[in-house]
Amino acid sequence: MTTQLQLPADYQKKYNKVLSYGDANTRIIQLQNCSLPPENSVFTASWWQKNAEITGSASGRGKTLFVRHQQQDSILRPYLRGGIPGKILSNQFFFTGFERTRAWQEFFLLLDMLALQLAVPEPVMACIQKSGLIYRNSIIIKRIPEAADLHHILCQQPLSEKALHTVGKTIRTFHDNQVYHHDLNIRNILLDQQDKPWLIDFDKCGFKPGESWKQHNLARLQRSLLKEKRKLPELHWQEQQWDILIAGYNDIN
């Protein structure tokens, strides 16, 4: 796909480093410095097997591929439905406009958060393919180098008090910028080799006004810790450690 399109008028000035390609039924958006071709096939495993490298995979709601192109490690993630609808529609969503698709919204949300200097990965490309009233979509995002999610780390060792404090403080920076993470859990928080926390997976997330939701957001994270501890009693987590994380959250200096 080579037909370049203009972004919607209200996007053009703010996102002047984003390119758009497509036709009546497809949109591919990517950063100007992206070296990948703007083609639908880039979002398939077969393209990476033939033209670049698949370095691994992870299974969650769907299969995420870890890929490498020109020394850049990224993830290729399709959007899939969960719950009962997911058993029927799987990767199909009702189309109400390209700008309202999940891949489009996450791509530009990541750019907005990066502009606020929040600890999130950089988007590379997103693809939306429409067929009648439904669409399918995928996104490619840069991997955080040498980082692991909190669940993986806690299966190996406890977090230091400093790391816990920093995790809490990092979550606070998102909340102070009114960023709502729809699925804040220990698999969506990473620590790199310098113990810097990063948040990932911003599907169905966004900027949200108000204050009351923030405590519910923290409660969701706490529930995920307790749930994983029940499933794996040897997980290196004790309930009293939550107070350290919250102390970091409340440290506004």
Which active-site residues does the annotation give?
A: 183
Where does residue 118 fall: left (phi above 0), alpha (psi -120 to 50 degrees), or beta otherwise?
A: beta
Selection from 111, 117, 113 nearest residue 178 by Cα: 113
52 to 39, 68, 88, 153: CA distances (angstroms): 14, 6, 33, 29
Q: Quote the CA–CA distance of 95 and 39 in Å, as a whole number.
A: 21
Quick check: 108 and 141 in contact, CB under 8 A? no
Torsions phi, psi for 148 (to 5 deg):
-135, 150
3-state secondary structure of 96: coil
Tokens standing for 250? Answer: 């409340």
Burial of 73 per CB tally in 10 Å (0-12, 13-18, 19+): middle
Contact 46, 54 (CB under 8 A): no
First to last CA, the chain: 49
How far are the Cα atoms of 11, 124, 125 from residue 22, in angstroms, in the given order?
16, 16, 13
